[in-house]
Structure formats: C-alpha cells, structure tokens
C-alpha cells in the first residue's frame, strides 16, 4: 500500500493556504480524536497521522522541505523555531476540548526587580557565517538600575507601604464561605509602592545604556539557535547583572538549503549527461565536488556526500551534502539534432511508430468502450 501524502491525509490540495490546512486539520483531528473513538486503534493511528501532517504543513520551513524533498527532507529537522506547530496544536486542543488543564498562572516572587535581568536580542547572520562561525561586534541597549532611586522608581528611593494591599502583597476576595488570595496587582506582591515617582527615570527604575561587545559565533549555528553571553544582560538594583541571549536569524542561501546539519542542493543535469552517466563538478560548502552520475540517472535522484555538510554546533560530527538531480531536456531541436536522436533511437532498435502490438490492443480497448 502506498503511503498517503500529508496533503492526502488532511484531504487538502497541495496549494491550499494556511487557513484551509488548519480548518482541514481541525476537522480530521475531531473525527479521529481518541476521546471520541475509545479503543479504536485505527482511529488512533489516523489521529497521529493528522498531527504529523499538520505539524509539517503548518510550518513554512518544514512544508517547503516536504514539498521539495518529501518526508526524507524532514529527517533531522525540528529544533530551531520550528515548534510553532506544537504551540498551535496545544492552543487548538484547549479550544476544542476546553475544560482540561487550564493555564497555570505564574506568580511573581515578592521581592522582584522592576525588570528581568536576562535579556534577549536577535541578530541576522549569513548562511556561511552560520556554517563556518565568525566573530562579530554587536551593539545593544541594556537597562541599568537608576542611581537616584536605587532601581525602585520611587523618589529618593523611598517606598511607602502599598495602599492597595496595606503592605501584605496579597489581596483577598470573598466568595461565599471561601476567601481567595491573589498577588496585589498594584505592587506585584512586594507590599511597597512608590509614593512619588523618581524624576530621573520617570518611575521606571532604570536608565538605558549602550554597549558594544564582540561575540564568537560557533560554527554550525542554525536559524533560531540562541547563544548565551554571560553577564551582559540588564543590571538590577543590587548591581547584579543578568545574561544576554542572542537569537540568530540565518539568511537563506540561493543554492544550498539546510536541514539540520545536512545540506541539500539541486543540480540541473542535461538528459544526455544522465543517459551516459557523466562526471560533473558541483558546488560544495567549501569548494567543488566531483559527482559521478549513474548511467540512466533519474530525475530527483539523490547523491549523498558523507561529511560534506555542516559541522555540528555541539561537536557531534558533520552532516552530509545531498545533491538532488533535476533532469533538463531541450525545448526544441534543430534538424541535425533530430537526425542524431533518431539515429540513436534506431541503434537501440526502437521504432518511431508505436509498437504494433501496443497499438492493436489499444484499439481493441477503445472499441470495447463504444460497444
């Protein structure tokens, strides 16, 4: 049995837009959800397939790999920022089967900084910079606690007791016999609030500063990866400095397409080269490689060059370079070429007219239709 494509699983066409795919997925997921089909193994299997299909087709990057290289192209993918599909999935199930779980509310610890000490910035780097690594100078802004108010945002650093919660950090609500407590929304649980705002920082508690640093980007970094630069984040009221996280946006390359540590490239091959099994030279990440085609190489055939891909960012080996053949044919032939081709064809013993036996049976078949 032939495996269904992701499009077939969700029963959408290959050029369906995101909304259509999402809608189709909802429909199928509802149909096959285990809660609705208890003990039905086939439904469970279909449900898994729908999830797999949607995870791929809802992610632009995965979808384009899938469209070009099929399921094979998705292997080793994941990681990076491609978990958008998962998030989406989660929220969708909450909607569909509401009542489960519910969001757990995060509570802020009482004695908090006015802003997080760790900070995140994004950085664009080229395809090659990501693969081979590079040192780069970056300039960024960070928060430094205001000296006048010691990072409190209150004039003279003087905080007064929060009027909302009377310094308790919690507010209480009564409902029937029960009393619920909640972190005070005014002071965020600290029990203190500025009586008057610090005029130096307008109550924010910090001043923005600029800094230039050089960071070493390791080879093998991929789109969406994060690098921690220790001690270069925001500075808090006690002088503690957080970390800076740099998230990389890797630009796409014109020819190479990266998939984890593997790299794909499409190589156009003229049909005569494929027929004779020519040896051609193809670009690699570091230069050129010699590719010996098979006699009768097929369209979309893959040739793998082990270890010619990207060095793993954590030092776990090196990926492969995969050349995918794209056969090209002449759009028109001159008389000389026509003659050469028919000579070639003759030498293989192939006649230009359809084979008699084939023709006869086709005619018989057609007669059958019009009986």
Q: How many residues of this chain interact with Zn ion, rule: CB under 5 A?
A: 12
Torsion sign over Cα 270, 275, 279, 285: positive
| Of residues 199-218, those binding Zn ion (CB under 5 A) | 200-201
Q: Which stretch binds Zn ion (CB under 5 A): 13-21, 39-47, 70-78, 162-170?
A: 162-170
Q: Which stretch binds Zn ion (CB under 5 A): 143-151, 227-235, 324-332, 362-370?
A: 143-151
Q: Does 186 bind Zn ion (CB under 5 A)?
A: yes
Query: CB of 95 within 8 A of CB of 29?
Result: no
Q: Does 278 bind Zn ion (CB under 5 A)?
A: no
Shortest CB 164 distance to Zn ion, Å? 4
DSSP 120: E
| Of residues 279-298, those binding Zn ion (CB under 5 A) | none
Q: Which stretch binds Zn ion (CB under 5 A): 21-29, 129-137, 140-148, 257-265?
A: 140-148
Q: Which of 50, 47, 25 is nearest to 36 (CA)?
A: 47
Pick the closer one to Zn ion by CB: 187 or 265: 187
- Return the ∠ at Cα 13 (arms to 12 and 18), rounded to 5°: 70
Pick the closer one to Zn ion by CB: 147 or 355: 147
Q: Which stretch binds Zn ion (CB under 5 A): 22-30, 148-156, 215-223, 290-298?
A: 148-156
Q: Which stretch binds Zn ion (CB under 5 A): 96-104, 186-194, 344-352, 362-370?
A: 186-194
| Of residues 12-71, those binding Zn ion (CB under 5 A) | none
283 Cα distance to chain centroid: 26
What phi, psi does 336 have (nearest 5°)? Answer: -65, -45
One residue of 10, 29, 50, 149 binding Zn ion per CB under 5 A = 149
Shortest CB 176 distance to Zn ion, Å? 25
One residue of 187, 244, 269, 274 binding Zn ion per CB under 5 A = 187
Shortest CB 159 distance to Zn ion, Å? 11
Pick the closer one to Zn ion by CB: 149 or 217: 149
Q: Does 162 bind Zn ion (CB under 5 A)?
A: yes
According to DSSP, the residues that pair with 174 across neighbouring strands are: 179
Q: Does 145 bind Zn ion (CB under 5 A)?
A: no
Shortest CB 143 distance to Zn ion, Å? 12
Query: CB of 137 within 8 A of CB of 125?
Result: no
Residues 38, 277: Cα–Cα separation, whole Å: 55
Pick the closer one to Zn ion by CB: 153 or 319: 153
Q: How large is the angle between the packed helices 18-32 and 84-96, nearest 10 degrees?
A: 50
H-type alpha helices, the chain? 6-10, 18-32, 41-57, 60-69, 84-96, 127-132, 271-276, 335-347, 356-369
Residues 116, 155: Cα–Cα separation, whole Å: 21
Shortest CB 257 distance to Zn ion, Å? 50
Q: Does 341 bind Zn ion (CB under 5 A)?
A: no
Place of tokens 């920082």: 201
Q: Does 235 bind Zn ion (CB under 5 A)?
A: no
Can you tell me whether residue 129 is helix, strand or coil? helix
Q: Does 198 bind Zn ion (CB under 5 A)?
A: yes
Query: CB of 217 within 8 A of CB of 248?
Result: yes
One residue of 9, 53, 146, 246 binding Zn ion per CB under 5 A = 146
Place of tokens 């489960």: 100
Shortest CB 114 distance to Zn ion, Å? 10
Q: Does 159 bind Zn ion (CB under 5 A)?
A: no
Residue 296, token pair as written in the block:
């009768």
Rounded alpha-carbon distances, angstroms, from residue 92 to 34, 195, 348: 16, 44, 60
| Site for Zn ion, rule CB under 5 A | 146, 148-149, 162, 164-165, 184, 186-187, 198, 200-201
């Amino acid at each position: 049995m032939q495996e269904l494509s992701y499009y077939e699983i969700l029963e959408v066409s290959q050029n369906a837009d995101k909304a259509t795919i999402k809608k189709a997925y909802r429909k199928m997921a509802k149909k096959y959800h285990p809660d609705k089909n208890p003990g039905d193994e086939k439904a469970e299997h279909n449900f898994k397939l729908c999830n797999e299909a949607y995870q791929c087709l809802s992610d632009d990057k995965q979808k384009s790999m899938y469209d070009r290289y099929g399921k094979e192209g998705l292997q080793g993918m994941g990681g990076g920022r491609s978990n958008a599909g998962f998030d989406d999935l989660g929220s969708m199930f909450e909607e569909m089967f509401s009542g489960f779980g519910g969001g757990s509310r995060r509570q802020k610890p009482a004695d908090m900084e006015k802003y997080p000490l760790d900070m995140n910035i994004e950085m664009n780097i080229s395809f090659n910079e990501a693969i081979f690594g590079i040192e780069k100078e970056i300039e960024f802004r960070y928060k430094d606690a205001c000296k006048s108010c010691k990072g409190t945002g209150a004039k003279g650093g003087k905080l007064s007791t929060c009027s909302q919660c009377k310094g308790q950090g919690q507010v209480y609500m009564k409902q029937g016999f029960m009393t619920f407590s909640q972190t005070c929304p005014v002071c965020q649980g600290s029990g203190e609030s500025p009586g008057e705002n610090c005029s130096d920082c307008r109550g924010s508690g910090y001043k923005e500063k600029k800094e230039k640093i050089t960071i070493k980007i390791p080879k093998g970094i991929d789109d969406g990866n994060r690098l921690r630069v220790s001690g270069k984040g925001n500075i808090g009221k006690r002088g503690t400095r957080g970390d800076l996280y740099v998230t990389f946006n890797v630009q796409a390359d014109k020819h190479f397409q990266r998939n984890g540590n593997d790299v794909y490239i499409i190589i156009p091959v003229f049909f005569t080269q494929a027929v004779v099994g020519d040896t051609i030279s193809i670009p690699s990440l570091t230069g050129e490689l010699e590719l010996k085609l098979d006699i009768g190489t097929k369209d979309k055939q893959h040739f793998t060059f082990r270890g010619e891909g990207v060095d793993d960012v954590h030092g776990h080996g090196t990926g492969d370079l995969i050349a995918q053949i794209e056969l090209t044919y002449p759009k028109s032939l001159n008389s000389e070429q026509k003659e050469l081709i028919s000579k070639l064809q003759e030498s293989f013993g192939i006649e230009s007219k359809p084979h008699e036996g084939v023709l006869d049976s086709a005619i018989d078949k057609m007669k059958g239709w019009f009986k």
